[in-house]
A and B are shown apart, each in its own frame.
Chain A
Amino acid sequence: MDSLVQNANPKLQLTPTQFAAIEPNAYILSQLSQRPSSNGVPTRANAREQFEFRDMTVTVGGFTHANGSSTVRIGDTSVVCGIVAEQIYTSEVPSWDVSQASVSANKRRRLASSGKTLLDNDEETDQAYDNEESRHIEDRCLLVPNVTMNTGCTPGYVPGAPPSEDEQSISNNLLGLLRSTRMIQAEDLRIWYQPPNLDAGESDSSNETQLPELKAFWVLHIDIMVMSYGGNIFDAAWTALVAALRHVTIPYAWWDVDKEIVLCSDDASKAHKLSLREMPTSCWFSVFEPQPRPASQDEVARGSLGDGWWIFADPDGYEESVCEENVWCVVSKDKNGKTRVYRAQNVGGSTVDSEVMHNLLQISAKKWEDMKSIIDEVVATGSPRAVAWKGKSYSA
């Protein structure tokens, strides 16, 4: 880097911080070409390897009034997520039709008679039921994720201002992902009422039991606040959201016929957790292209991908400000170890080809395994306790 500066003007001396602030692109390039790590791989300006993720700390709980909450710190980024469960009555929904609940009511009755619960028959795929599941969640807007960045985390977001474009885009991506991954089962959010069988004494045929009525839904208000801005907000927000969802406790609720309201029990042993189908992991990568692109073959050869451009996993705020092209992968693995891809998206350029995309998806799948063990561990500990994860480097 010194040589670069001296070439430009032998009399002008800049400190590395000044150089980094004035010419971020050239600074990152000079670091990449001058600082190979022990195994010969070029390292980034923040001394990380290309596919090295930052240290992470995940905590669940800690916020008294939220049904589920979490705090995630990834490097200098930290976000807080709080989930509050409220209710909506089907009687208040203008377009609500009793037949809308018929499929699940039938299924519920069938399961009740066979002695199973809805939640443990994951394998049984009932197409009509599945469609109704997602339709309830989507039509009734039962999941309400919102991201707030104007908490004073960075001067760019004015406190008190309406949501900026970035916040809107992250909130909508979170919502889209929650819907498309179908990780939340609508059954967890339903409040049923079983009308008493008044003529049970006269005829004892179990086939004539009344259909349960769907009386209300739980609505999950998911609010994520960015407390410190250090790049890669989406990964932090998604991790916080997943951890908080795992921590959510929903009280046992029933329909009180006399008062015509839903009552809840404050008994913690009757409450239930959400049974998430999946636990997808989001990985954000930035593509760094030097400006202007290196001319000599010698310089090109140093890029690990051989093309004169680099991919940074888990970019920090400084790297994000320089990189225009971003790759976003959301993956999960099913019980058989097969990778499922929920998002594979490249925005802002066309440098990444299908082979690179494949590698990035593989890296994301490896990250998923680590993420799963972290979140499982932190949820298992129960009381607010942080679980730390040392950042590490992956290879495809």
Chain B
Amino acid sequence: MNDRRRVNGPAEGTRRPVFACHVDTASAPTRPQRQREPKAFRKIALETGLTRSASGSSYIEVQPSPPPASYNSLIPHSSSLKLACSVHGPKPLPRSAAFSPNLVLTTHVKYATFATRKRRAHVRDASERDLGVHLETALRGAIIADRWPKSGIDVTVTILEAEDDRWWADAPDSHDASWGMMNVLAGCITAASAALADAHIDCLDLVTGGMAALVSDDENPDAPPKLVLDVDPSEHRSIVAACVVGYMPGRDEITQLWLKGDSSNAVLEDGDKRTVHEALIDGAVTAAKSVHAVLAEVVRESILAAGQ
């Protein structure tokens, strides 16, 4: 099954190192706690124009939550988002392609092999294709596609470091879904939007990704889950449901919506009359609005810098 076009490792395959503290429960570390307010964000660094060979590009980085003071372990304490996006086009479609009156958008999302705790494969897997489709949906609603007939545009996102799905010391099945993907998608949407602006592609608005989740940190399973924005999954005991939106604040329009988790039985805190879905979507939109402020500032700066 080895791909002869790559340099392959040992034919027997390799194993991840097992750390003694995983096996030995006596010296188990403590779970990190969310230090921020439920509606506070981690710091975001966003930059455009780093890939000079592309029409437009951007790089986004989220500051990881700080480790405890005496943390001196080789196991990374936290993981944070680092991703690069590049845009090529608009360019003519290949001769073999059928006529298209609109701009043909293609999106690719790929994890670097060293992006997560478990090494990723070189070939795209299902979750990467899934992210690509979600990103395409989010951008399609924002791009004014009929301005470029017979043209194509490629959006490629490389994830250099991804968010954790769960706390690293948790048993593998303690969180049921890959929650890290939700944050990654929100980051992809924001980065792609910045890169599109950098490539001067006409859009209705700067579409922004926002993420919110219902988390339960309480020992008591009956306690109502809390709504938090910009969630680092490793900081929470369990995540009930999460939501990502691609949102355009200027038009108050959602181009992409992704809800994950079982929220049907969840009950919000007292006095909240909304359904759980509404609360989640509202939360994600609030998150997107906050990120939009950063995005708009970065795009404005890059345009001013280019004008000088």
Q: State the A residues within 8 Å of B (CB).
A: 63-66, 69, 76, 78, 80, 82-89, 92-94, 140-142, 144-146, 148, 150-155, 159-160, 162-163, 168, 171-172, 174-175, 219, 221, 223, 225, 227-230, 249, 251, 253, 259, 261-269, 271, 317
A151-B158 contact in complex given A65-B117, A160-B110, C-beta closer than 8 Å: yes
Contact present for B9 and A144 (CB under 8 Å): yes
Q: State the B residues within 8 Å of A (CB).
A: 3, 5-21, 23, 50-54, 57, 64, 72-76, 78-80, 82, 84-88, 91, 108, 110, 112-117, 119, 122, 124, 154-158, 160-161
A162-B108 contact in complex given A64-B79, A64-B80, A155-B91, C-beta closer than 8 Å: no
Contact present for B91 and A266 (CB under 8 Å): no
A152 contact from B3, B91, B108, B115, Cβ within 8 A: B108
Contact residues in B for A162 (Cβ distance below 8 Å): 3, 5
A84-B113 contact in complex given A155-B88, A265-B19, C-beta closer than 8 Å: yes
A228 contact from B11, B17, B50, Cβ within 8 A: B50
In the bound assembly, the distance between CA atoms of A65 and B3 in angstroms comes to 25
Contact residues in B for A155 (Cβ distance below 8 Å): 88, 91, 154
Contact residues in B for A93 (Cβ distance below 8 Å): 10, 12
A221 contact from B9, B57, B80, Cβ within 8 A: B9
A263-B114 contact in complex given A86-B14, A172-B7, C-beta closer than 8 Å: no
Contact present for A266 and B14 (CB under 8 Å): no
In the bound assembly, the distance between CA atoms of A276 and B156 in angstroms comes to 36
B5 contact from A69, A163, A221, A268, Cβ within 8 A: A163
Contact present for B18 and A65 (CB under 8 Å): no
Contact present for B50 and A82 (CB under 8 Å): no
Contact present for B158 and A227 (CB under 8 Å): yes
Contact residues in B for A271 (Cβ distance below 8 Å): 74
A65 contact from B9, B79, B84, Cβ within 8 A: B79
Contact present for B52 and A63 (CB under 8 Å): no
Contact present for B12 and A92 (CB under 8 Å): yes
20 more A-B contacts (CB under 8 A) besides A65-B79, A93-B12, A153-B86? A66-B114, A84-B114, A87-B16, A141-B8, A152-B51, A152-B87, A152-B108, A152-B156, A154-B53, A163-B3, A174-B7, A175-B7, A219-B9, A228-B50, A228-B52, A228-B53, A251-B19, A261-B18, A264-B19, A266-B73
Of all chain B residues, the one with the shortest Cβ separation from A165 is B5
Contact residues in A for B17 (Cβ distance below 8 Å): 85-87, 251, 253, 262, 264
Of all chain B residues, the one with the shortest Cβ separation from A145 is B7
In the complex, 28 of the A-B residue pairs with CB atoms within 8 angstroms, ordered by the A residue number, are A63-B160, A63-B161, A69-B114, A76-B52, A78-B51, A85-B17, A86-B9, A145-B7, A146-B7, A152-B51, A152-B88, A152-B154, A155-B91, A159-B110, A159-B154, A160-B108, A162-B3, A162-B5, A219-B9, A219-B14, A227-B51, A228-B53, A251-B17, A262-B18, A263-B19, A263-B20, A264-B18, A265-B20
Contact residues in B for A317 (Cβ distance below 8 Å): 53
Of all chain B residues, the one with the shortest Cβ separation from A142 is B10
In the bound assembly, the distance between CA atoms of A142 and B76 in angstroms comes to 24
Chain B nearest CB: distance from A241 CB in Å? 12
Contact residues in A for B108 (Cβ distance below 8 Å): 152, 159-160
Contact residues in B for A85 (Cβ distance below 8 Å): 17
Contact residues in B for A249 (Cβ distance below 8 Å): 74
Contact residues in A for B160 (Cβ distance below 8 Å): 63, 80, 225
In the bound assembly, the distance between CA atoms of A225 and B23 in angstroms comes to 34
Contact residues in A for B5 (Cβ distance below 8 Å): 162-163, 168
From B14, B18, B115, residue with most partner A Cβ within 10 Å: B14
In the bound assembly, the distance between CA atoms of A154 and B54 in angstroms comes to 6
Chain B nearest CB: distance from A133 CB in Å? 17
In the bound assembly, the distance between CA atoms of A133 and B256 in angstroms comes to 55
Contact residues in A for B82 (Cβ distance below 8 Å): 63
Contact residues in B for A89 (Cβ distance below 8 Å): 15
A268-B73 contact in complex given A152-B108, A251-B19, C-beta closer than 8 Å: yes
Contact residues in B for A229 (Cβ distance below 8 Å): 53
A221-B113 contact in complex given A64-B79, A86-B14, A153-B51, C-beta closer than 8 Å: yes
Chain A nearest CB: distance from B225 CB in Å? 28
Of all chain B residues, the one with the shortest Cβ separation from A191 is B17
Contact residues in A for B9 (Cβ distance below 8 Å): 86, 141, 144, 219, 221
In the bound assembly, the distance between CA atoms of A124 and B152 in angstroms comes to 62
In the bound assembly, the distance between CA atoms of A271 and B17 in angstroms comes to 13
Contact present for B19 and A64 (CB under 8 Å): no
Chain A nearest CB: distance from B12 CB in Å? 5
Contact present for B15 and A144 (CB under 8 Å): no
In the bound assembly, the distance between CA atoms of A171 and B21 in angstroms comes to 36
Chain A nearest CB: distance from B61 CB in Å? 9
In the bound assembly, the distance between CA atoms of A186 and B35 in angstroms comes to 44
Contact residues in B for A63 (Cβ distance below 8 Å): 82, 114, 160-161
Contact present for A267 and B7 (CB under 8 Å): no
B74 contact from A80, A141, A171, A267, Cβ within 8 A: A267
In the bound assembly, the distance between CA atoms of A145 and B88 in angstroms comes to 28
Contact residues in B for A163 (Cβ distance below 8 Å): 3, 5-6
B19 contact from A175, A266, A268, Cβ within 8 A: A266
Contact residues in A for B64 (Cβ distance below 8 Å): 64
Contact present for A86 and B154 (CB under 8 Å): no
Contact present for B114 and A82 (CB under 8 Å): yes
Contact residues in A for B18 (Cβ distance below 8 Å): 261-264
Of all chain A residues, the one with the shortest Cβ separation from B77 is A64
A144-B53 contact in complex given A64-B79, A64-B161, A271-B74, C-beta closer than 8 Å: no
Contact residues in B for A78 (Cβ distance below 8 Å): 50-51
Chain A nearest CB: distance from B57 CB in Å? 8
In the bound assembly, the distance between CA atoms of A210 and B173 in angstroms comes to 42
Contact residues in B for A160 (Cβ distance below 8 Å): 108, 110, 124
Contact residues in B for A264 (Cβ distance below 8 Å): 17-20, 74
A144-B73 contact in complex given A65-B116, A223-B112, C-beta closer than 8 Å: no
